[in-house]
Amino acid sequence: MEQATSNIQVQPADKSVIMGIWKVALILAVITGIEYLFAFTMDAGFLRSTIFVALTIVKAFYIVSEFMHLGHEVKGLIYSIILPMMFIIWLIVALVNMEGAAVKDSRGIVDYEPAGTEQMNDSK
Amino acid sequence: MATTATMSKRSLWGGGVAPFKASYGKLMMWFFLLSDAFTFSGLLITYAFLRWSAPAYVGDPKDFVFSTEYWPIPEKVYEAFPGFHGVELPLVFVGLMTFILIMSSVTMVLAVEAGHRMDKKNVVKWMLWTIIGGFAFLSCQAWEWSHFITGTDTATIGDVVLNGIWRNNYEIFGANLTFNQYGPPAFAALFFFITGFHGFHVFSGVLLNVLIFFNAANGVYERRGHYEMVEKVGLYWHFVDLVWVFVFTFFYLI
């Protein structure tokens, strides 16, 4: 076991590989920057939430595909990870978008609208 | 290689070869991460479900005040930064935390890359940076939690149950598991549970990273002939980063 140490060869770093890693990091930073831009310039709503989720999925793609190297694995491995996650995302969309709204509706929960100068209706 | 190339599809799964061209440990790490993703999905579904069935604030964001009656606007909750008391800096601190975690993910990739080249010196260097990034993130989270628990200068008036006694018009400062000054009780409970569960993953990741760091520095992987352990723990560390990307979007942006 110990004698194996002597014939270890340190290979020189490939500049293009290192640059590729930093490029992905830059992409992630830029996407986060765009998210901040939307957070500060756009009013909250369905469209903004959709943009955030879409940008998040783009970021997730880069992290999983490049950092976790899944994009360079065998097709079977890619599908065995991605397919279950796609079903889960389907479930999330169904539960959040439809069930959440339906429960809110059926319970008769109404949104809070500030009326004039009165801030809170049940405080002193 | 020559034998696998001539094999039919049937014998590829007949044993003796690795159809996914990945080691047992790496495959199991992937499937563990898949199951962990299910757990986090469950938490995020719970969050989104409770949030979208709670009353929302639909007025002008400029007039927004905290109330236990409706769900808060996240930008109004997370606007503190250490050393800037009373200054409104929405999402700046959480941006810093995101930056730290993504950077530590990058240094982890660089450690894995150095491992492929059997470059022990660089593996140790980049692992150390990854550990520092992990500790920095955890420290940020500790500060964020303590600020969240202590609360702001202005109390929110609400009716609460304190030590089993119903209190009307109680001055709520900060947050605990039964009530909080920011919004409905579920808001703080979900904050503690989701960021806490993620923080615990980061903590476990840092422990694993420390283990790998010492093994690499002591030449364990050099003697073994490969740095695959760095890769496997790297997968876990990237997953923690991945989860944070989702927590960041769902908890802080939307």
CB atoms within 10 A of CB A82: 12
User: Of A5, A40, A64, which has the smallest distance from its Cβ to B222's Cβ?
Assistant: A5
- Flag if A81 and B254 touch (Cβ within 8 Å): no
Cβ–Cβ under 8 Å, residues A120 and B69: yes
- Flag if B41 and A76 touch (Cβ within 8 Å): no
- Flag if B58 and A111 touch (Cβ within 8 Å): yes
Predicted local confidence at residue B4, as pLDDT: 54
Q: Which residues of chain B have pLDDT under 50?
A: 1-2
Cα distance from B12 to chain A (closest Cα, Å)? 12
Strand partners for B156? B172
Q: Read off the pLDDT of each residue in A16-26 and give the average, rounded to a whole number.
A: 92
Predicted local confidence at residue A42, as pLDDT: 84
Per-residue pLDDT of A22-72, as tens digits, reads 999 999 999 999 998 988 888 877 888 889 889 999 999 999 999 998 988
Q: Read off the pLDDT of each residue in A12-25 and give the average, rounded to a whole number.
A: 90
d(CA B3, CA B232): 28
Label residue A123 by pLDDT band (50, 70, 90): very low
- Flag if B73 and A44 touch (Cβ within 8 Å): yes
Predicted local confidence at residue A116, as pLDDT: 57
Predicted local confidence at residue B135, as pLDDT: 97
Cβ–Cβ under 8 Å, residues A92 and A57: no
Could you please report the per-residue DSSP string of B24-82? HHHHHHHHHHHHHHHHHHHHHHHHHHHHHTSPPB-S-GGG----TTSPPPHHHHS---T
Cα distance from B83 to chain A (closest Cα, Å)? 22
Query: Model's pTM, two decimal places?
Result: 0.88
Q: In the CATH scheme, what architecture does the domain B22-52+62-253 have?
A: Up-down Bundle (1.20)
- Flag if B238 and A68 touch (Cβ within 8 Å): yes
Cβ–Cβ under 8 Å, residues B147 and B188: no
d(CA A72, CA B233): 18
**Of A9 and A124, the one with more pLDDT:** A9
Residues of chain B with C-beta less than 8 angstroms from the C-beta of A93: none
Residue spans per domain, chain B: 22-52+62-253
Cα distance from B234 to chain A (closest Cα, Å)? 8
Residue spans per domain, chain A: 15-72, 74-109
Predicted local confidence at residue B1, as pLDDT: 47
Label residue A7 by pLDDT band (50, 70, 90): low
Predicted local confidence at residue B9, as pLDDT: 60
Closest CA to B133 of B230, B206, B215, B53: B206
